[in-house]
């Protein structure tokens, strides 16, 4: 480890040149594949986006999806409605699980069809459709918005019968409606926060996941019988501590052979270490400040929940230290909802789209670390800095530094198994958003500086 620390003193003026620390990227050491980064426009936000003034709408779409000027988000999460007419494709109870369901499709899906089409135009390929609940008549509570279980799942019989197959048919029908307009739903979930009891769409499972374990094979077989390649996900718990409880049960219950992704939210607990019971990819499918912070453009103030730097650190902990394959924020665009930090792009003046500080934390990851990238090894360390390296499908390598300390650092990056021909670097900190910063390539190694409380993304081709 080469450390250079020069203090040049000119009378009263002291210029401190940060210690330059050597690290090595080892391309032969591989970890998880990155599926992408994303967000949702559920609960009417897609329609709000669709109805936004067109110049602002274009600005917001560019911020969210452009890989040259924006974050290049690559996953969207749509809500499969379970309510009444205009929300659900099955607003009315057919009377019994075996009766013929009267599905309806308005080709709009609360603006989510338009929103998905915009995402696809920018190259988004990962479309995650997630049901918060089964329709109310399929549940023990009889309502989609009160706590209840899926009738017929393990431990829950209902006088109306076993609705598991009917729920699977309903979910597959939703995917087929999207297929009929040329949109491939790639991932399908049947739960949202089943460990939480709010007064909107929701469905419960037990901590041993027995209801999910009984339903997952039925859903899998229904997807297969329909000739679809849709991948199944579970279970979008409210926090990773619950997911850590579900996962061993899903493994022991035989569910993981039907699943493609383990999904969780991070409201009640962030991911803190890898879940090793299954090799399935793990996605953080929802996160946000909720109303704990207003919508702010702050990068770093005091380490609060609304700071971009706070989320930069969460992303580094999730992707590097917990080996997640995807990370989704809650909502993307909202129009004049700046009292809440639930979303990434808003407007203060009603005409100009503005990204939050949190948006830039995501962009530092998602613009250059593209779907299919594989995380690769690094050795050596830089003080107060979380380091990750990724190899994209096109062969480029991205190294991302998250300096959580207040002192500037500097690093010299060498490579095993790669010879960089060009280097570029970008910095986001309190005074810069995705600004070009120096990356000096010499003798196959790259030198860059990393300001305190910043993220620096270095791309090598």
* Binding interface with ligand NAG (CB under 6 A): 427, 429-432, 437, 449, 451-452
* Residue at token pair 């390598």: 397
CA distance 435 to 437: 6
Would you say 63 or 299 has its CB closer to ligand NAG? 299
Kindly list the distances between the CA atom of residue 298 and the CA atoms of 38, 46, 348, 355, in Å, as whole numbers in the listed order. 21, 25, 14, 10
**Which of 288, 195, 175 lies closest to 236, judged by CA?**
195
* Residue at token pair 């050491």: 29
What letter would DSSP give residue 150? B
CB of 420 to ligand NAG, least distance (A): 21
Residue 43 burial by Cβ neighbours in a 10 Å radius (0-12, 13-18, 19+): middle
CB of 403 to ligand NAG, least distance (A): 10
Residue 139 in tokens: 């549940």
CA distance 337 to 289: 13
Residue 254 burial by Cβ neighbours in a 10 Å radius (0-12, 13-18, 19+): exposed
Residue 421 in tokens: 């021909």
CB of 38 to ligand NAG, least distance (A): 28
Would you say 230 or 437 has its CB closer to ligand NAG? 437
Would you say 288 or 451 has its CB closer to ligand NAG? 451
CB of 454 to ligand NAG, least distance (A): 6
Question: Going by DSSP bridges, is the β-strand pair 187-189/326-333 parallel, antiparallel, or unpaired?
Answer: unpaired
- Count, in order, helices (H) and strands (E) of the chain: 8, 22
CB of 411 to ligand NAG, least distance (A): 13
CA distance 409 to 22: 11
CB of 235 to ligand NAG, least distance (A): 41
CA distance 316 to 349: 33
Residues 124 and 183 sit within 8 Å (Cβ to Cβ): no
Would you say 304 or 377 has its CB closer to ligand NAG? 304
CA distance 218 to 167: 9
Would you say 393 or 435 has its CB closer to ligand NAG? 435
CB of 3 to ligand NAG, least distance (A): 20
**Distance between alpha carbon 81 and the CA centroid of its chain, in Å?**
20
Residue 427 in tokens: 């910095």
CB of 364 to ligand NAG, least distance (A): 13
Would you say 18 or 213 has its CB closer to ligand NAG? 18
Would you say 102 or 436 has its CB closer to ligand NAG? 436
Would you say 114 or 434 has its CB closer to ligand NAG? 434
CB of 451 to ligand NAG, least distance (A): 4
CB of 305 to ligand NAG, least distance (A): 20
What letter would DSSP give residue 34? P
Handedness of CA 145, 148, 151, 152 (dihedral sign): positive
Would you say 344 or 427 has its CB closer to ligand NAG? 427
Would you say 26 or 301 has its CB closer to ligand NAG? 301
């Amino acid at each position: 480890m080469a450390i250079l620390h020069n203090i040049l003193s000119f009378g009263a003026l002291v210029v401190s040149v940060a210690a330059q620390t050597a690290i090595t990227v080892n391309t032969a050491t591989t970890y998880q594949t990155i599926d992408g980064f994303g967000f949702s426009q559920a609960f009417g936000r897609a329609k709000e986006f669709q109805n936004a003034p067109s110049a602002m709408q274009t600005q917001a779409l560019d911020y969210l999806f452009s890989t040259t000027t924006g974050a290049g988000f690559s996953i969207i999460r749509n809500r499969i409605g379970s309510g009444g007419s205009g929300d659900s494709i099955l607003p009315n109870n057919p009377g019994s699980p075996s009766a013929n369901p009267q599905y309806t499709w308005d080709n709009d899906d609360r603006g989510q069809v338009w929103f998905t089409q915009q995402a696809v135009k920018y190259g988004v390929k990962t479309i995650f459709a997630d049901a918060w609940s089964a329709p109310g008549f399929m549940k023990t509570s009889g309502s989609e918005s009160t706590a209840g279980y899926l009738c017929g799942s393990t431990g829950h019989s209902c006088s109306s019968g076993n609705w598991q197959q009917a729920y699977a048919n309903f979910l597959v029908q939703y995917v087929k409606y999207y297929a009929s307009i040329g949109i491939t739903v790639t991932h399908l979930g049947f739960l949202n926060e089943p460990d939480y009891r709010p007064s909107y769409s929701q469905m419960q499972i037990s901590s041993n996941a027995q209801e999910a374990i009984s339903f997952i094979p039925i859903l899998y077989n229904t997807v297969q019988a329909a000739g679809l390649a849709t991948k199944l996900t579970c279970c979008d718990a409210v926090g990773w501590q619950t997911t850590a409880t579900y996962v061993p049960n899903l493994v022991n219950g035989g569910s993981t052979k039907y699943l493609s992704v383990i999904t969780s939210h991070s409201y009640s607990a962030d991911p803190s270490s890898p879940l090793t019971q299954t090799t399935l990819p793990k996605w953080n499918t929802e996160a946000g400040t909720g109303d704990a912070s207003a919508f702010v453009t702050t990068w770093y103030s005091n380490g609060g929940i609304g700071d971009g730097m706070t989320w930069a650190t969460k992303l580094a902990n999730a992707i590097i230290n917990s080996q997640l394959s995807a990370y989704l924020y809650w909502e993307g665009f909202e129009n004049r909802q700046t009292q809440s930090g639930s979303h990434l792009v808003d407007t203060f003046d009603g005409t100009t789209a503005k990204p939050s500080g949190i948006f830039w934390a995501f962009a530092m990851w998602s613009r250059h670390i593209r779907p299919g990238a594989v995380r690769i090894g690094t050795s050596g360390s830089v003080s107060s800095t979380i380091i990750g390296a990724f190899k994209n499908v096109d062969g480029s390598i991205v190294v991302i530094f998250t300096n959580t300390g207040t002192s500037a650092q500097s690093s010299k990056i060498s490579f095993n198994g790669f010879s960089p021909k060009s280097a570029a670097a970008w910095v986001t900190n309190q005074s810069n958003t995705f600004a070009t910063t120096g990356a000096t390539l010499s003798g196959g190694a790259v030198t860059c500086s990393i300001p305190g409380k910043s993220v620096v993304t270095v791309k090598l081709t």
